[in-house]
Every structure is written in C-alpha cells, then in structure tokens.
Amino acid sequence: MYFKLAWRNIWRNKRRTLITVSSIMFAVVFALFLESLERGVHNLTIENMTRFHTGYLQVQDFRYRDEPSLDNSFHFHGSDRDRISHEAEQVEFTVPRIETFMLAAGEEQTRGAMVLGTDLDGENKLNNLEERLTEGRFFEPGDGTAVLGEGLAGRLNLAVGDSLVLLGQGRFGMTAAGKFEVAGLIHHPIRDMNNQMVYISLADAQWLLSAEDQITSLLVTPTHIRHIDTVSESVLESLDSEELRIFSWEELMPELIQALEFDRASTRVMMMILYVVIGFGIFGTILTMTLERLREFGILLSVGMQRFRLALVLFIETVTISILGVLSGFLSGFVIILYFYYNPIHLGGDMEEFVQEWGIEPIMPTALAPDIFLWQGMIIFLLTTLICFYPTIKIYTLNILDSSRT
Amino acid sequence: MKMLFSISWRNIWRHPARSGVLLGAIIAGLWAGIMASALTNGMLQQRFDNVILEELTHVQIHHPEFLTEREPWMVLEQTDELYTYLEQDERVRSYTGRTLSGAMIQSPLTSSGVQARGVDTVREQETTLFHENVTRGEYLDSDLRNPILLGESLADKLNSEIGQRVVLTFQDLDNEIISGSFTVAGLFNTSSNPYDERNVFVRNEDLGSLITDRAVIHEIAILLHDQTMSERVAGDLNREFEEISAETWYELSPELRYMTDMSQSMTFYIMVIIMLALAFGILNTMLMAIFERMRELGMLLAIGMNKLRVFTMIMLESVILTLTGAAAGLLIAWLSVQYLGTVGFDFSGVGGDSMAEFGYDAIVYPMAGREDYILTILLVVLTAILAAIYPAIKALKLNPADIVRD
Amino acid sequence: MDSNRHLSPLAALSNMILLPLLAATLVQSAAAQSAAEIIEQMEDLMRGESSYVEMTMTIERPRYTRDVSMKAWAMGEEYSLILITAPARDQGTTFLKRNNEIWNYIPNIDRTIKMPPSMMSQSWMGSDFTNDDLVRESSTIHDYEHRILREEELNGRESWVLELIPRPDTPIVWGKVLIWVSKENYMQLRMEQYGQSEELVNTIEFDRIQNLGSRTIPTRMTLTPEDRPDQHTIMTYQAMEFNIDIDESFFTQQNMRRVR
C-alpha cells in the first residue's frame, strides 16, 4: 500500500523525479568512472612494469632469492611446462628463464653481461621481445646464436654475424665458455639493459652453464591480475616440490608498490572529495525537493495522515528513487566504461611518443571489474539513503500551520 | 534595475532554506575544487621530493660516454668552467659534483659489488635530501677517517656495524686495481631495497685520492628552481660546452618519467571528473530550485511583469547567490589550504600507511597557487550561472496560465 | 670469503717466493721483534725465487663436491701461470697473472680474455677465492701489528700463537688474525680470521706435514667458514719444486696455449 502510494508519487511529478534520479545517476557514473579509470591505469602500470622486469609471478628455488646463483636453480623440464598449462587454472602462459652474470667478449673488448637463456615465444607473449629487434633475426632453440642489446654490441664492437664469446661459471662451479654467432641486435629502452643484455635460447644456455633441464626462474602470467592467488597455488601444486617458492610481483618489485600505493592513496583522497561534491549535489536536489513539497506534506498532515505513515511513504519514495538512480547510473556507467575500455583515452603529446618507444600502448584504459560496480553502487546508495533521512526527519518536525501557509 | 536588485535580494532572504542549499552547494563545490587542486599539487610535489630531490635532481652532466661505458677515466675535464657557468645561471638552485666508481666492498663475512658514490658533503646536502635517509649513525661529515655510508640491507648482508671497517676495491684512472679501507659512519634506508644494496656513499675527496691524485668529478647533479626548465638548461649546457652530455631527469630515468607522467595524467582526469560532478551537482540543485518557483514566476508573468525583467531577476538572484557562495567558499578553502599546508595531510589515514613502512613520507602538504583559485572560481561561477540560465529561459517560454493552474 | 688470500693458490705461491724483506726497519720493540722474526722465518720456509707446484683444490658444498687439479709456475710476486689439468671439461684452461692483470685462456673456444675489473669480485673456478685474490698483494709483515699472544701445544707440536692486527690504513677486512706457528721448523699450523666484533669468521688448518721439494711443510690446507660448517675449501699439494729454471718469457699469452 505504502509502496503503491510512493510509486504514484514518483510518477506524479516526472520532472522532479527525473532531476533527482539524474543527480544520483551522475554521482554513480562519476564514481564508477573514476575508480574504473584508476584501476585500469593501475593494472596497466603493473602490467607494463612486470613485463619489463619480473613478470607477475615467479617460481624459484627457495634459496635463490637470498643467493641468486646457478647452484640454486631448479629442475624444470618441457613436460613440466605442458603440465602447468594443462593442470593449473587461469594460467595464460609461462616463461622459463635461466639467467646469470657472465663475461661477454668481442675480438678486443670484454664486458660484464647479463645472460638470459629463455624461450622466445614466451618472451614475445610477455614483452614483445621480437619487436625490439633492430637488426638481424632471433635465435632458434639450440642454434648457437645470440641476440644482444645494441649498447653492449657497441661496447664490444660486434655486428650481426660476428662471434661473441661468453665466459663465466656454470652450475656447481663448472667453467662455462662458449662462442655464439650474433644473430641480431635489439634496442632496449632501459639504458642499463641495453648495455648489458645477452639473449640466448634456453637450450643453449643450459648447455653452456652445465645446467641441463635447470632454470633459475619460471615466470607465470595469469589470465587476469585478480587470479594471482589461485594461480600461485595451482602452479605450485602442479610442480609439486618442497623446495620451490612462488613470488608475486609485489614481492619482486617492492619499490613499484610504494609508487603505486602513493597513487592509490591519492586517488582515495580524491574519491572522498568526489563524494563530498556528489553528496552535496544529491543533498541539494533532495532538500529542494523536500522544500518544494512542504506545502503538500502540510496539507496531508492536516487532513489527518499520520506522520509515521507519511514519513514511511516518503522514505520508500526516496529509496526507490535512489535505486532507480543507482541502476540507471550502473547502466550508463557501464556503457561509458565499456566505451573507454575499447576506445581508451590517449596520452597526448610527446608523452605518447615516449611511451611508444617503450613498446607500450600510450593509453589510459578503464577496468571492467564487477567489484567496482558493487562497491561504488553501495557507497552512493548508502550516501543517498543517509541524505534521504533529511525529508523524513523534516516531516516529524514539520509545523502544519507554517507549511500550508507558504 | 535598482528595484529588480532589491526584489532579488528580498527573494533570496524570503527562502532561506532554498538559498542556503544553493549557497551550500556552491561553497562545497568551490572548496572541493580548490582542495582537489591543492592536494594534487601537494602530491605531485611529494612525489617529486621523493624521487628528484633524493638523488636524481633535474639535470645531470657526465662525460658523453660515461653512462654507457662507466670507465673511471671518463671524468668531466672542465669542472671549474662548468661550476662558474652554473653559478651564474639564475635558473639553477643548487648543484653538486660526484665521483662515481664501480667497486667491490668486502667485510670479514662476504663481499659484494657496489657503486661507490663520492659526494661533496656540503654541496650534496644543499642539493639533495639524501642525508635524510640516514637512519643510524651520522652523515659523511664526521671526523672518522674515510667514512662510508651503507644501506641497511647491505650492512646486514656484510654483517657490518657502525664504527667497523670495510674494504673497497676500485679501478683507478689507469685501470689498475686499488683498495682502501673505510669506516662505517652511518646506515641509510631508501624506499628501494635494491638501491640500498648496490650503493655506498663516501666523500669525493677520499674516493678521488684513491683512484687518482686529484679531485675528479664524473657527475654534476643540478637542481633547478623550476623543473619545467630542465630541458632548456640541459640544452644550453650541451651547446655551451663540448665533451659533456647534460641530460634531464626524464632522460636519465625513463621509468620514473613513465610513472610520473601516468599519475599526472591520471590526476588530470580525476580533476576533470570532480569538476564535472561539481557542475552537475550545481546544475541539478539550480534546476530543482527554479522549477520549484515556476508557480511564483508564472504568477509574476500573469500579473503583467515583463518577461525580460523576470529573467533578469532570476539571473540577478543566481549571481548574488553564486558570488556570495563563491566568496564564502573561497575563504573556507583558503583557510583549509593554509591550515593543511602547514600541518600536512596524513595519507596514512587513507591507506597510505604501507608507504610509510617503506620510508615513503605519507604526509602531503596541499598548496594552491593563484591560478588554481582563479580556475576553480571561474568554473564554479560559470557553472552556477549557466545552470541558472537554462531553467530561467525555460520558465519564460511557458504559458503563465498553465503554470499557475498547475 | 674473498679475503682468504693466505689460502689462494697464487697468494700461496707468492708466499713461497723470495721477497726481499727489510725486516730490520720494521722492528720496533722487543716483543714485535720476535713476533716479526717468527713470521719472517715462517714465510721463508715457503719461499723461493721461482717455484713449480702441483695441487688439487677441493670445493665442498652441501650439494656437491668438486675437485680441480692444476699445475702452477711462479716467478717473483709479479708472474704466475696456472694450468688446469682436471676435470676434463676444464683441462687446458690457463690463467696468467702479470702484475695486476689476469688473462684467461679457454681451449674449447681458443680464446684469451683479459679479466675486466668488474669481474674481480667473481669467484675463481667456483671456489671461495675471487679473481681479486689472485692478484692482490699484501704483506703479513707490513700490513699488520703483531705480537706473541701465548705459547701452546697444537696437534702435538709446541707453537707460538701470534696475534696480528691490521694497521688502520691497510685494506684488510679482518678485525684480527691469529696464527699458530710451530717452534720446530717455523711451520704455520693454523690460522683464525676474526671479524671486527671479535667473532671468528674462518678457520684454516694446515696439516699433512711431509717432505716436498726438499722441505718439510704442511701439504694440506682446509678452510672452514664459521657460519657454514658444512662447506670447505681444501688445497692439497702433490708436488713442489723451488728455484726452478724459468724466466719472464714463460709468462706470456703465447705460452698460455702451449703449456702442458
């Protein structure tokens, strides 16, 4: 009965309802968009940083972290990789890597170099390694060729087709020495990496370092960042070894977290300012609406309607309007977020160029995540409901004579 | 006109609640807008302090090949001329010379590869905030012989304590190997663990006397008054001097630039969203207020008041309200910014505490420049007035008889 | 680990080589005199103008044990050449030290490489020694203040216990070093290296006293880091000759490829 009354009230003054609903709707849209954009950029930053460095997740021997030596590598066969891709849930792909510090020598020059034995397909999925190639081609597994950073090649005076000597220490103190033909050069935007990196195929690296079927780390990329925990568990389960640990990007790159935390905290502050702004917007609309209807309330009360009933009707009315507002906010918010998801905001100007040089898309995407809708919807709904207590209270304190006079 | 003004004035006071809501919306909007800008400025400044002032500075000068080759002999030859030049450049706030050398650090327990940074104790403290990272012991201006600062995590690894001796081995300018003993004067802790493990600080005269017989400078770090000048200052230096390479902070640290630019764009869009929300809030409240008055306006028209005069009256009311609100909002915002600008806004209250754990300063000092105030006032006032025009026009188009009857 | 140069093969070689010591100028007090004299006598035992040695280095780690056999020639402090004879994979690899430089010849890629400074802190042949240990020169006499701490019996031999404290401006990481020298024959029997809070870091035992190269000397040294008792580096001498017929032309890059 009350609901019917409230429902009729809502449609009696369509314009008023429309304004109120739209003010709530806009509030929801803004809050949704803000958080979704923040989340999207946040995830993109993590993705780009992890692609460049550590990957989202890394499986390592438990000793490797404190002592990153080849002695602390672990046994990992191609069949392990297949098993993970079959068994483990939400794993998009894995990249096995063996890396160590070695001497790289050309004809005359010798420099320290980071030697990374890896699987090219995996690296391509992870960070489009092949696109960084500026000259030559990439290695095939076990063909005894290497790809090195332009900077390092320059320092060693090496060009495509020349031979590169790698010298260092293999697993368990074995001497590691090998000659590799330079198959190609890559340009890495991070100067230190450009000056230090040597890529060879995993098979070659394992042979060179006397580490057959050994890797130092397995990079695991989940299908989505929110699946990290599930993936961690299922990968470890599938590898089934007491001696392995899995580390998330948060543990691998703590300094990135700080920067991101700072961003998150600042967004949270901005979010609060946004709530103040939209809170006042909604409050203004509802307050004006209440004032507009004081006369009507006064009449209803004077013809004998109980304050409690009137308040209840009004409350149902406002809550219904809130729900309508939030739902329409969801709908338009979803459309807008979806639009910006597929047509993300571009970073303009020289920043766009700079970011592209990194092989990163110069965009600020939105994130499509159900929890954003849930939380923001709930917050705005609560905010509105709180505001809706105002007219209810007003009814209880209303002076009938005064109100019908205005 | 005068009469219209007094009618408007009286109208405003006749409906204190309605006027109050509008005033409140405008005050809140203005306050929120200015606070958002001020916090944004404060946060960007904070980020800047954390990364630029710690060590990087705005512009660095090196031997053209130093950053690639890192050979000890790649020193800056014309330091005196450079210093004189920098002294005269008004854009330069401060500068400091550094001696850099790859080194091996040894303790009785173990050894590790590090980058030794020989700093000018006086100038370095004037230019960067690195000395604030010293957590135990004292900075390099102690009386100890060959004092050295170690990162806490490195000291842990070496099992070295303050007052103890460590041995550093360098390559001197003639590529000979040379060792020297240093006394641990203090420990530092930056936000980055890898940095702490890989960098040690000594006095540049101590390092210089080991690797050669004179003071040598590999790097001059320059802090400017205005960071936007970075590129121009670097360009001028490169034109003015030969055999050097001056680079801006974003050339030196593209990753930092990526992170900074990303969060800067992000903040920009957050501001846009808040401002939009603000505009919509005011628009909705205005709409509500005007529609509520349709009856009254219709009455005025019905008794023969000129349409233009009614329009002017409505607009006058809006302008008076808006300006009053703007003035009050400005005052409150100014007071808030002044207050928080001195005591700071603690981010740890909104989840920034994880930053503090890493030694990141979680207190942000909001600050607003004249352009922030002007921009926000313009935005709020224009929104409020534009929001008033639409319903005012709409009111005039209606048939007075209909409205009164309604 | 890297400061174990007292144990490193090349430093050990250096110790064997005659170094004209101006002991008289170092003498400051009666106690120091006798401590210095003991050290000098001890070092004399292992010295010669040139030397040849065959030895095996055993690296014991919790997860593996590895033997590296080598032949080494040395002349003065400046020159030495090491040829790896086993394991098979490393056979023929040579290291040449000329003054401060180390060269490395690897037969399977037929290449000689000069060790850059950045590699100096890297492990040598997988052992506890760094490349830097091979080239670093230090003098037990010059770099330390020394005194006789006490006299005691060790492994059935009467010996002095000497305490060595590094001089302030010397690049030595130890807080102090204790050495046991047998009164008979001046053989070094044991060495303990301490950190700067007086904590024991490494213990080095010298045993298997035999006649080698017409001298009676300990032919095995075992290093045990205090914090890793399951980890050892053991040097065993099989043959030793002093004052061999050799000259500077032996220590060349050409000879690195030829030497057998």
Residue A244 CA to its chain's centroid (Å): 26
Q: Do B106 and C118 touch (CB under 8 A)?
A: no
Q: What is the pLDDT of residue C136?
A: 64
Pull the structure tokens for residue C14. Answer: 């250096």
Residue C116 is nearest to which of A111, A172, A178, comparing CB atoms? A111
Residue C114 is nearest to which of A110, A165, A174, comparing CB atoms? A110
Summarize pLDDT for B94-138 with one digit per residue, the tens: 999 999 988 888 887 777 888 999 999 899 998 888 888 899 888
Confidence band for A359, pLDDT divided at 50, 70 and 90: low
Report the gap between the CA of A79 and the closest CA in chain B (Å). 34
Residue B142 phi, psi dihedral angles, 5° rounding: -95, 170
Q: What is the pLDDT of residue C135?
A: 66
Neighbours of B400 (CB within 10 A): 21
Q: What part of A 20-39 touches B (C-beta under 8 Å)?
A: 20, 22-23, 26-27, 30, 33-34, 37-38
Give A63: exposed, middle or buried? Use CB within 10 Å, 0-12, 13-18, 19+. middle
**Is A193 strand, coil or helix?**
helix
Pull the structure tokens for residue A85. Answer: 């891709």
Residue C14 has pLDDT above 60, yes or no: no
Residue A198 has pLDDT above 90, yes or no: yes
Task: Find the mean pLDDT for residues B336-346.
Answer: 84
Task: Find the mean pLDDT for residues A53-57.
Answer: 84
Side-chain half-sphere CA neighbours of B230 within 13 A: 18
Residue B186 has pLDDT above 90, yes or no: yes
Helix, strand, coil % over all residues of chain C, rounded to 5: 20, 45, 35
**Is B92 strand, coil or helix?**
strand
Confidence band for C9, pLDDT divided at 50, 70 and 90: very low
Residue C30 has pLDDT above 60, yes or no: no
**In which residue are the tokens 């120091």 written?**
C32
Name chain B contacts of A23, Cβ cutoff 8 Å. 280-281, 284
- Give me the helix-helix angle, B254-292 and B16-48, nearest 10°: 180
Please answer whether residues A97 and A209 qualify as being in contact, where contact means their C-beta atoms are separated by less than 8 angstroms: no
Please answer whether residues A222 and A231 qualify as being in contact, where contact means their C-beta atoms are separated by less than 8 angstroms: yes
Residue C154 has pLDDT above 80, yes or no: yes
Interface probe, candidates B71, B105, B107, chain C, greatest C C-beta count within 10 A: B107
**Is A364 strand, coil or helix?**
strand
pLDDT above 90 as % of chain A = 20
Residue B183 CA to its chain's centroid (Å): 37
Q: What is the pLDDT of residue A268?
A: 81
Pull the structure tokens for residue B211. Answer: 């690797």
Residue B295 has pLDDT above 90, yes or no: no
Q: Do C104 and A167 touch (CB under 8 A)?
A: yes
Pull the structure tokens for residue A66. Answer: 């404190």
> How far, in Å, CA of C131 to CA of C146, rounded?
28
Q: What is the pLDDT of residue C138?
A: 62
DSSP bridge pairs for B106: B111, B167
Interface probe, candidates B54, B350, B398, B406, chain A, greatest A C-beta count within 10 A: B350
Residue A105 is nearest to which of C90, C113, C118, comparing CB atoms? C113
Q: Do A265 and B358 touch (CB under 8 A)?
A: no
> How far, in Å, CA of C93 to CA of A167, rounded?
12
Against chain A, the chains showing at least 3 CB pairs within 8 Å are B, C
Positions of E strands within C30-109: 50-60, 65-75, 79-86, 94-98, 101-106
Report the gap between the CA of A135 and the closest CA in chain C (Å). 26
Q: What is the pLDDT of residue A13?
A: 77
Q: What is the pLDDT of residue C5?
A: 39
Please answer whether residues A302 and A400 qualify as being in contact, where contact means their C-beta atoms are separated by less than 8 angstroms: yes
Question: Any idea how long chain B is?
Answer: 406
Give the residue from A298, A295, A312, A288 showing the smallest Cα distance to A389: A312
User: Which tops the pLDDT comparison, A116 or B392?
Assistant: A116
* Averaged pLDDT score across all residues of chain B: 82
Task: Find the mean pLDDT for residues A122-137.
Answer: 88
Pull the structure tokens for residue A42. Answer: 């946040």
Give the residue from C254, B66, C90 showing the smallest Cα distance to A155: B66
Residue A326 has pLDDT above 50, yes or no: yes
ipTM confidence score: 0.74
Q: Which amino acid is at B66?
A: F
* Averaged pLDDT score across all residues of chain A: 85
pLDDT above 70 as % of chain A = 96
User: Which tops the pLDDT comparison, C29 or A96?
Assistant: A96
Alpha-carbon distance values, C186 to A261, C19, C181 (Å): 65, 17, 6
Task: Find the mean pLDDT for residues A349-367.
Answer: 75
pLDDT above 70 as % of chain C = 83
Confidence band for B402, pLDDT divided at 50, 70 and 90: low
User: Which tops the pLDDT comparison, B357 or B132?
Assistant: B132
Summarize pLDDT for C171-200 with one digit per residue, the tens: 888 888 999 998 888 888 999 989 888 889
Looking at residue A253, the DSSP 8-state letter turns out to be: -
pLDDT above 70 as % of chain B = 92
A221: left (phi over 0), alpha (psi -120 to 50) or beta: beta
Q: Considering only B22-36, B213-227, B322-336, which range has the smallest mean pLDDT?
A: B22-36
Q: Which amino acid is at A382?
A: L
Q: What is the pLDDT of residue B349?
A: 62
Start-end of H helices in A53-104: 78-87
Looking at residue B95, the DSSP 8-state letter turns out to be: E
**In which residue are the tokens 């739902």 written?**
A327
Report the gap between the CA of A178 and the closest CA in chain C (Å). 6
Please answer whether residues B183 and B148 qualify as being in contact, where contact means their C-beta atoms are separated by less than 8 angstroms: yes
A154 at B interface, C-beta within 8 A: yes
Confidence band for A311, pLDDT divided at 50, 70 and 90: confident
Alpha-carbon distance values, C45 to B356, C16, C38, C216 (Å): 61, 7, 11, 9
Radius of gyration for the alpha carbons in chain A, expressed in angstroms and rounded: 31
> How far, in Å, CA of B27 to CA of A280, rounded?
10
Positions of E strands within A106-141: 110-118, 133-136
Q: What is the pLDDT of residue A402?
A: 64
Task: Find the mean pLDDT for residues C91-109.
Answer: 86
Residue A37 is nearest to which of B269, B276, B291, comparing CB atoms? B269
As a whole number of Å, the end-to-end CA separation of chain A is 29
Task: Find the mean pLDDT for residues A179-206.
Answer: 90
Residue A262 is nearest to which of B15, B32, B47, comparing CB atoms? B47
Which distant-in-sequence residues (6+ apart) come within 8 Å of C245 by Cβ? none
Tell me which range, A20-34, A78-92, A199-213, is most confidently predicted by mean pLDDT: A199-213
Task: Find the mean pLDDT for residues C76-101.
Answer: 86
pLDDT above 90 as % of chain B = 18
Confidence band for C32, pLDDT divided at 50, 70 and 90: very low
Q: Do A112 and C111 touch (CB under 8 A)?
A: no
Tell me which range, A40-54, A143-157, A277-291, is most confidently predicted by mean pLDDT: A143-157
Give the residue from C92, C74, C60 showing the smallest Cα distance to C10: C74
Q: What is the pLDDT of residue A150?
A: 92
Report the gap between the CA of A150 and the closest CA in chain B (Å). 11
Q: What is the pLDDT of residue C137?
A: 59
Which distant-in-sequence residues (6+ apart) come within 8 Å of B26 by Cβ? B282, B321, B322, B325, B326, B329, B380, B384
